[in-house]
Amino acid sequence: MNVPLQTQQIQIAEQIASKTIEYLQTPSVVGYERFFMQALEKDFKNLGLRVNRQDRYLAVSGDQPHSSIICAHLDRHGLISLGNDEYVYAAQYIKEIKYGQNNRLAQKQLENITRRFEKEVVFAYDPTTGEPLGNGIIKTCNPCLLGGDALFSIENMPPLASGLPLAYARTATYQNNYLKGQIDNVVSLATVFCLFKYGFQGTAILATEEEIGKSWLHISDYLSTYQIETQNLITIDTSPYTDQSVIENGVIILRKQDMSGQFNTKLVNALISRATELGLPFEIKDEAMLTDGKTVDQLGSTELGRLVEKTQGRWNGATIQIPTSMYHTSNETTTTKAIANYYSFLRNTLIDDPLAESVTE
């Protein structure tokens, strides 16, 4: 018996929500993603796929690895112990100690970080085994200490050695057509899993360190190592919105540019035409922001934009994003309709009637 298309879409959306919650059981604080990478490697291999795991990325491939290439990130925000009951924002700390970059944030940004973490339950874990090392509740955050680093205080956390990561508690839920949790960008990883499960034969580059703006390095490492030249990458991610109607209506988020660079106009226009043909709601986010009075410098930074900028356009492509509210918190939220439209559009453009031209080695 044939299942109606709308029913199929809802069923896939529910699978993606379930897989998202499953993935969120494994922590992946930026800089400490290895244990999660191992879990993903096992999961994708169980689908019969080839998985190339390097220190900073997983490349998952089907039978036609260069037919299409999609990119997503696998790191999440969290904290890092400094010892002596002091904890710092992982994204700041890793960028400073690993890349030697002064990552002092503006006071407003630090205050936003403070609000995101206030009264959150967090748990420390062994970065090699994933073993939980203790739980606690964030009591205070002083954004003015440590010369600009946000310094956190946590109640009930046992003493921790310096350098251990702390993740948000695993509290994701899927109820009444709302998926809620630390879903950036785990919902995209779950979507990638379902794309492969239902026929995608290309490659997915799943990179670390996107939350510190460095995932482009690992994507370019893969592309250069395998001598792949393409202007048709598809990068997928969540996209923050305060307008709940965008999320409720399942709007697909496209971009022609971000603050760092212009995307492949031909590919973006093809995506716009395809969404129109399919009758799927979409928004060109940068155009909407510019119409609202924003400047190019206020368009935000994406993984693809950084890749375009840092490689002088050697690689390019387009972004496809799913809208969410309460961005970068443990309560980030999207809807069944948004997930269904996100998956349906990706499936159509990557599997059913591929848009991107084949890339060459």
Residue 61's pLDDT band (cuts 50, 70, 90): very high
Residue 215 CB contacts under 8 Å (≥ 6 apart), including other chains: 71, 73, 75, 207, 208, 209, 303, 306
pTM, full prediction: 0.95
Mean of the per-residue pLDDT values of the chain = 92
- pLDDT of the residue at 358: 40
Q: Give pLDDT, residue 116.
A: 79
CATH architecture of structural domain 5-75+173-352: 3-Layer(aba) Sandwich (3.40)
Question: pLDDT of 28-44, one tens digit each?
Answer: 999 999 999 999 999 99
Alpha-carbon span 301 to 60, nearest angstrom: 25
Distance CA 267, CA 317 (A): 7
Judged against a pLDDT cut of 60, whether residue 66 lies above it is answered with: yes
pLDDT in the model for residue 139: 85
Residue 4, pLDDT score: 60
pLDDT band of 69, cuts 50, 70, 90: very high
Assess whether pLDDT exceeds 80 at residue 2.
Answer: no
Q: What is the pLDDT of residue 151?
A: 81
**pLDDT-based confidence at residue 103 (cuts at 50, 70, 90):** low
pLDDT tens-digit map of 139-184: 877 655 555 667 888 999 999 999 999 999 999 999 999 999 999 9
Identify which has the larger pLDDT, 215 or 92: 215
C-alpha pair distances (Å), 210 with each of 55, 60, 68, 161, 216: 14, 18, 21, 26, 8
Name the more confident of 144 and 199. 199
Q: Residue 119 to residues 8, 76, 168, 188: CA-CA distances in angstroms?
A: 39, 18, 11, 27
Residue 271, pLDDT score: 97
Average pLDDT over residues 311-337: 96
Q: What would the pLDDT profile of 273-287 be if each residue is shown by its tens digit? A: 999 999 999 999 999
pLDDT digits (tens, 9 = 90+) for 294-303: 999 999 999 9
The percentage of the chain sitting over the pLDDT mark of 70, rounded to a whole number, equals 92
Phi and psi (nearest 5°) for 171?
-120, 25
pLDDT surpassing 90 at residue 320 = yes
Q: How far apart are CA 253 and CA 237, in angstroms?
A: 10
Place of tokens 């106009």: 265
Name the residue ranges covered by the structural domains of the chain: 5-75+173-352, 79-168
Residue with tokens 């879990």: 39
